Homo-oligomer: A and B are copies of this chain.
Amino acid sequence: MEGEAPPAARLAPRRRPTMQDVAHEAGVSKGLVSMVLSGSSGPSAATRERVLAVAARLGYRGDRTAALLARRRTRTLGVTLIPGNPYHGELAEEIQSAAEAAGYEVVLGATGADEGHAIETLVDSRCEALLLLGPTLPAARLGRIVDAVPTVVLGSAVDLPDADVVRADDAGGIAQAVDHLVALGHRRIAHVDGRSGAIAELRREGFVAATARRGLDPVVLPGGLTEDDGAAALDDLPDDVTALVGFNDRTAVGVLDRLERSGVPVPGAMSVTGFDDSPMARHARIDLTSVAQGYLDQARLAVRLVLERLEDGRTEPREIVLPTRLVVRGSTGPPRRA
């Protein structure tokens, strides 16, 4: 249109157009442009057309930061997670789609190095609520940070007085595993536990309670969260144990590895169960009987809890415990005949 465009537009990196630019170009006021772009019913059809055309021509894109600052509500939810954790990944995706359906944006915070810092950043970014996936920060510190922000804790039993909690029925899940093994005929069952942490405690207590109900002696081996912890736990394995209930799938896989290396056939000589029903458990080479948590339900419920607080004004905290489901695979079978 205009003869000879400047040859190197790139040199002067044109500042991206602002709403004011659009307004000026369309010959209207800035406020009107804002109304048009936010789909308000005020502006006339003719103006709307014109403004939209100009905006498109200029390649206008709103500035989120400015909008967030100006808006009374940000409609933004903060989610903290460990980036590589597949469990967190599944939860995050489901949370995101549930949030979007309710008209909220989601921003992620990585809790790899410094969880406190990650949460603070989300709070300072005006998130209206926080969803914390498996937080490990001490409750006191956590409480100070989230103070006035509605918070839902997922998959962790942090005891925050004002926070909502959504988690699986850990004790019940372990009981399902124990019951399954007992039904197969096992009488000496050991739990490779998660060492420390609230969840580890819940599962360990669940194990002790479940075995007690069946009139069995509970054997608890100190384990941990990783494959290595699981493998190491077998150093002190009593001879008569015929089945192992792992704290989670990783622990259980460590146990499987160790058994494999020691030439102990599974489930021929030893049955093993995990917890999480992770993708790993499904592999043919691993094929681990595991307790499934309803990830998707957890995510959806967590978002619902947030909405209750944000939109219905709920203030008293709620805790939701979801039932688990045992997925039986090839790592469990009847005990070897004595």
Contacts and interface: CB of A to CB of B under 8 A. Distances in A.
A63 interface: yes
B96 A106 contact: no
Given A65-B68, A65-B126, A148-B13, A113 B96 contact: yes
Given A64-B121, A83-B108, A120-B61, A253 B285 contact: yes
Given A148-B13, A257-B284, A92 B121 contact: no
A125 interface: yes
B105 A121 contact: yes
Contacts of A257: 283-285
A81 interface: yes
A92 to B, nearest CB: 4
B126 A110 contact: no
A21 to B, nearest CB: 15
Interface residues of A, number: 57
Contacts of A68: 65
Interface string A83-99: 11111111011001100
A123 interface: yes
A82 interface: yes
A115 interface: no
Contacts of A120: 61
Nearest to A114: B100
A107 interface: yes
A64 B96 CA distance: 22
A337 to B, nearest CB: 26
A256 interface: yes
Nearest to A284: B257
A125 B90 contact: no
A141 interface: no
Interface in A1-43: 10, 13-14, 16
Contacts of A86: 84-86
B61 A123 contact: yes
Interface in A124-141: 124-126
Given A61-B124, A108-B110, A284-B256, A92 B83 contact: yes
Interface in A56-88: 59, 61-66, 68-69, 74, 81-88
A112 interface: yes
A206 interface: no
A109 interface: yes
Contacts of A90: 84
A264 interface: no
A308 interface: no
17 contacts: A14-B148, A62-B124, A63-B124, A64-B126, A65-B126, A83-B83, A83-B88, A83-B93, A83-B108, A84-B89, A85-B89, A107-B107, A257-B283, A260-B284, A260-B285, A280-B283, A285-B285
Q: 6 tightest CB-CB pairs across the interface, nearest first?
A: A84-B89, A257-B284, A83-B89, A108-B108, A84-B86, A93-B112
Interface of A: 10, 13-14, 16, 59, 61-66, 68-69, 74, 81-90, 92-93, 96-97, 105-110, 112-113, 120-121, 123-126, 147-148, 227, 253, 256-258, 260-261, 280, 283-286, 315
